[in-house]
Amino acid sequence: MSRTARKFAIEAVAVLASVVLFWVPLYFVLLTAMKSAQEASDMNLAWPSQIRLWQNIADVVTFRGYMLLRAFWNSSALTVLSLAAMVVVCSMAAFVMQRRNDRATPWISFFVLAGLIIPPAIVPTIWVLNEIHLFKTMAGLVLVEVALGFPFCVMLYRGFMAAIPRDIDEAAVVDGYGGYRLFFTIIFPLLKPVTATIIVTQAVFIFNDFTNPLYFFPGAKNVTVQLTLYNFTSQFISQWNLLFTDILLITIPPLVLFLFFNQKIVAGMTTGSVKG
Amino acid sequence: MTKVFKRIYTYNFLLPAAVVYTVIFIVPTVMSFFFSLTRWTLSDWEFIGLQNFRTFFQEPSLSIGFKNTLIYAAATSSAKVAGGLLLGVFLTGKIRTKHYLRSVVFFPTLVSTIAVGIAFSMMMHPTEGLINRTLATFGIEGPDWLGDTGVALLSVAFVDVWKGVGLATVIYIAGILAIPEEYHEALQIDGGNGWNKFWNIVVPLSRPATNAVIILSFIGGLRSFDLIWAMTKGGPGFATDVIASIIYKQYQGGFYGLATAGNVILFLFVTAVVYPLSRYLTRTEVDL
């Protein structure tokens, strides 16, 4: 076989494999979400006799007093609040950590890097949240997300900040700028590309987060979208169609982010992980 | 540093982050060492020494977690290294469907783990599931992927790799593209073939990527909880219980001291494995 023919064959196999490994599961989810409970329990790839997608969506949304809507609201609030706090808090911290160089800086870096590796201690965290009256609250969960996302974000910000020349700081100081004015009016706007990267990557992470809401945000009204999925598994035991409709609905936000910001997400995840 | 700049780069900037990080992360981590030695109800504690750790090592339903956690982490991270490297090489080559394949491989990284777990557990159903039905058309009788104690852990590990190999791949792609062109030219002058290129250039010079993938996926593997919980809840029996799922079970059962001991063990486990591993990996790295 000639070289080009072989190359073409390999590529054809790769595309075929991608269809089997990635499109078939997706198609399966979509198909099941369109079926009736009866047909969904067949678990096959047969085309539904009647497309019930809208009916299923209505059923899932109204289930248990519009629980899914509440979950979407909670998840969106969690994502937006955490991101806002994270961007401000982490960029400020990274500014000092990158610019300063004294005896304390290696220690600070050590503690921050440790956060990338060490698994959070679950029950003691609940205990702390309970002591400060933030257990089972949105504010408490936001703080958890910020604390756990902090090491990753600081690393990205620091890496980017290193490329912003100190001459800018000096010029600003000569012009009589103070630290806050320098940071908020000059440095922070220059960080926009990395801020965007952090927002899209962390938005996906936080929206998809299951473990932290499970531990730190329990309670009937405190659902997030990932928790609905988990709660519905026991209640929709014979209604796979509704469970898969739920999967479909909560996959839409990350899918949209992926379609628009694919490059940014990939960039954020690769630089973040290689530097760690 | 001049006095002016000490004032400009004031530690006040660090204050909010330091408070949140200390209160929510560092304090619980430090306190976990203490509470792991107690019988604990959140409001009240009783010091019981190393009893919780003894229970963890003696009770078979708990100690199985060590073995499973290691197997799971080793299996997923080695598969992600191999898969990521091969896909990375393939997707940096001269192929037409590069962009399509990169997107497709990466997409599962962004899908909810719970959703992936539910979808796959349905496809892995022993009799009705898509996988075994497809195998049956070829005359193969597939195992009970999630119900057989021998294969369940590896089935979950497979799904983990399916979901995570995209991240490994993009890390490799970045690593391979960073290899300077001169090396490839030198190889061409010396008359090396594709095989030489792979073993003598790509593999050694993408070592930073390899190290990142190993460390990242090993830590992730040791800590992983949500996929296992969504697919098997540690079952059948305790066949897929890992330290993280045991922590959750003990927490649910109200054994807070025991759950915290699990956390301390996981902490020691992760640092004991990851610290020497990363030291070793960075020491053997070559410079470009």
Give residue B169's pLDDT band: very low, low, confident or very high (50, 70, 90).
Answer: very high
Distance CA A216, CA A191 (A): 32
- Answer yes or no: do A124 and B31 touch at CB < 8 A: yes
- Answer yes or no: do A95 and B264 touch at CB < 8 A: no
The per-residue DSSP string of B46-74 comes to EE-TTHHHHHHHH-HHHHHHHHHHHHHHH
Q: Give strand ranges (E) for A216-260.
A: none
* CA nearest to A76, candidates A175, A190, A167, A207: A207
Partner A, chain B 112-171, Cβ-Cβ below 8 Å: 112-115, 118-120, 122-123, 125, 128-130, 133, 162, 167, 170-171
* CA nearest to B188, candidates B204, B177, B200: B200
Give residue B285's pLDDT band: very low, low, confident or very high (50, 70, 90).
Answer: low
Q: Does the pLDDT at position B282 exceed 80?
A: no
Calculate ∠ Cα B107-B112-B117, nearest 5°: 105
pLDDT of residue A230: 83
* CA nearest to A126, candidates B32, B33, B264, B230: B32
pLDDT of residue A275: 53
Residue with tokens 């593209």: B177
Give residue B286's pLDDT band: very low, low, confident or very high (50, 70, 90).
Answer: low
Preceding peptide of A254 cis, ω within 30°:
no
The residue of chain B with its CA nearest to that of A203 is B110
Q: Is A72 on the interface with B (CB under 8 A)?
A: no
Distance CA A119, CA B32 (A): 11
Calculate ∠ Cα A233-A235-A238, nearest 5°: 85
SS3 at position B39: strand
Give residue B47's pLDDT band: very low, low, confident or very high (50, 70, 90).
Answer: confident
Picking from A45, A128, A247, the nearest residue to B115 by CB comes out as A247
Angle between helices A225-235 and B113-123 (to 10 degrees): 30
Distance CA B6, CA B11 (A): 9
Q: Is B209 on the interface with A (CB under 8 A)?
A: yes
Nearest-neighbour CA in chain B from A211: distance (Å): 7
pLDDT of residue B142: 82
- Answer yes or no: do A121 and B133 touch at CB < 8 A: no
pLDDT of residue B34: 92
SS3 at position B92: coil
Nearest-neighbour CA in chain A from B245: distance (Å): 11
Partner A, chain B 54-73, Cβ-Cβ below 8 Å: none
Q: What one-letter code names the amino acid at B93?
A: G
Residue with tokens 């960075």: B282
Contacts of B157 (CB under 8 A, 6+ apart): B71, B72, B75, B76, B79
Picking from A108, A118, A273, the nearest residue to B29 by CB comes out as A118
Partners of B40 in the β-ladder:
B45
Partners of A215 on chain B (C-beta within 8 Å) are: 248, 251
Partners of A96 on chain B (C-beta within 8 Å) are: 9-11, 13-14
Q: What is the tens place of the pLDDT at every residue in B102-132? A: 888 998 988 999 999 999 998 998 888 888 8
Calculate ∠ Cα B18-B26-A151, nearest 5°: 60
Q: Is A263 on the interface with B (CB under 8 A)?
A: no
Q: Is A173 on the interface with B (CB under 8 A)?
A: yes
SS3 at position B45: strand
Q: Is A142 on the interface with B (CB under 8 A)?
A: no
Q: What is the tens place of the pLDDT at every residue in A11-41? A: 888 889 888 889 999 999 998 888 887 787 7
Q: Does the pLDDT at position A256 exceed 60?
A: yes
The per-residue DSSP string of B198-236 comes to IIIIIHHHTHHHHHHHHHHHHHHHHH--HHHHHHTTT-S
Contacts of A232 (CB under 8 A, 6+ apart): A60, A63, A242, A243, A246
Considering the entire predicted model, what is its pTM? 0.90
Distance CA B159, CA B228 (A): 10
Q: Does the pLDDT at position A276 exceed 80?
A: no
Kind and range of the H or E run holding B40 = strand B38-40
Distance CA B129, CA A60 (A): 24
Partner B, chain A 233-252, Cβ-Cβ below 8 Å: 233, 240, 243-244, 247, 250-251
- Answer yes or no: do A121 and B118 touch at CB < 8 A: no
Neighbours of A131 (CB within 10 A): 12
And the tokens for B128? 């009705």
- Answer yes or no: do B267 and A121 touch at CB < 8 A: yes
Q: Does the pLDDT at position A235 exceed 80?
A: no
pLDDT of residue B191: 81
The interface predicted TM-score (ipTM) is 0.88
